[in-house]
Homo-oligomer: A and B are copies of this chain.
Amino acid sequence: MGRAPLFAQLVANTDNGFYRQDIISVRQFDREKLAYVFGLAEEMRHMVQQVGSADLLHGRVLANLFYEPSTRTSSSFMAAMQRLGGCVIPINEVRYSSVTKGESLVDTVRTLECYADVIVLRHPEAGSAQIAADCATKPIINAGDGTGEHPTQALLDLFTIQRELGRIEGLTVAMVGDLKYGRTVHSLTRLLSHFGGRLQFVSPEVLRMPAELLREAREQGMEATEHQDVAEVIGEADVLYVTRVQRERFEDQALYDKVKDCYVITPELLERAKPRMTVMHPLPRVGEISYDVDKDPRAAYFRQMENGMYIRMALLAAVLGRA
């Protein structure tokens, strides 16, 4: 994974371990690869803050193929490509496009790779990103495939932890909310398991972290405990990773009303937290973090969004052999 100095490079770096590769799953990332991407993302951050943009991907074309809407993720990839001087073909209204005429995902992807150098795919069905990758010769970046994976989200989450706290090793990370269906907490759990430390899973009984993921984390040497109230973990957590508890997940609505306040983050709750810790959320939020918390310097969720752009810039540059 040797890398030539960024922004001084004339030929493709075909030896970075990412060149022409698909980004489908967090399982592709070991500590070495994570360090590579995070180092590159850090360079992107400096570049954007100092000069705003670069021409590293000048003349390259990204097809941003979203089968379901996600303003944040699609905007983040668009900005990432454009800040590196590249172009974007946004395909957002798939509902009204050739897909409705019965065109298969495979034909759509094979068509788009005729025009573009890299394809970002968001699709509601788990496994669709791998299907696309199998048929395409250009790199596919999975931007969320249903209950499957959303690897760039997990990478930006981990990168944010590193930036906010200066390290990843040995932290106490509390994940709060819907741990059963939450794709982001599953992927983050897998990535954190490379670094040791302690995981605190805080959820209603009906939304507990799947037993398999819990066992997997423990097998990799993580300490992992389960809780039903965020108040139990607030004093020890270095990271509070909050996700939404949706009313629709509960058969018993009275139960939802009874437990929902156990998963809401307020300034009062944060008074009991460490002075140096970080509150994260994949957004959008719907009440689970009070707006009063935004002013707290530990509230990192908008910096987390910004980090997403740098991670995506890093990945785009890497798969296109420009870093």
Contacts and interface: CB of A to CB of B under 8 A. Distances in A.
Interface stretch (A14-22, A28-36, A71-79, A271-279): A71-79
Contact of A309 (B103, B108, B114): B114
A299 to B, nearest CB: 11
Interface string A92-106: 111111111111001
A186 interface: no
Given A61-B82, A89-B78, A285-B107, A99 B114 contact: no
Nearest to A103: B284
A89 B92 CA distance: 12
Contact of A111 (B72, B89, B95): B72
A264 interface: no
Interface string A44-71: 0000000111100011110100000111
A100 B149 CA distance: 22
Contacts of A96: 69, 92-93, 95
Contact of A75 (B78, B82, B112, B308): B112
24 contacts: A51-B59, A52-B60, A59-B83, A61-B82, A61-B83, A69-B93, A70-B97, A71-B99, A71-B103, A71-B108, A72-B98, A72-B111, A75-B89, A75-B112, A78-B89, A92-B96, A102-B284, A103-B283, A106-B291, A107-B285, A114-B302, A114-B305, A114-B309, A115-B306
Given A69-B98, A70-B98, A75-B89, 20 more contacts: A51-B59, A59-B83, A69-B93, A71-B94, A71-B103, A72-B111, A79-B115, A79-B116, A93-B93, A98-B283, A101-B284, A102-B286, A103-B285, A107-B284, A111-B283, A114-B302, A114-B305, A114-B308, A115-B305, A115-B306
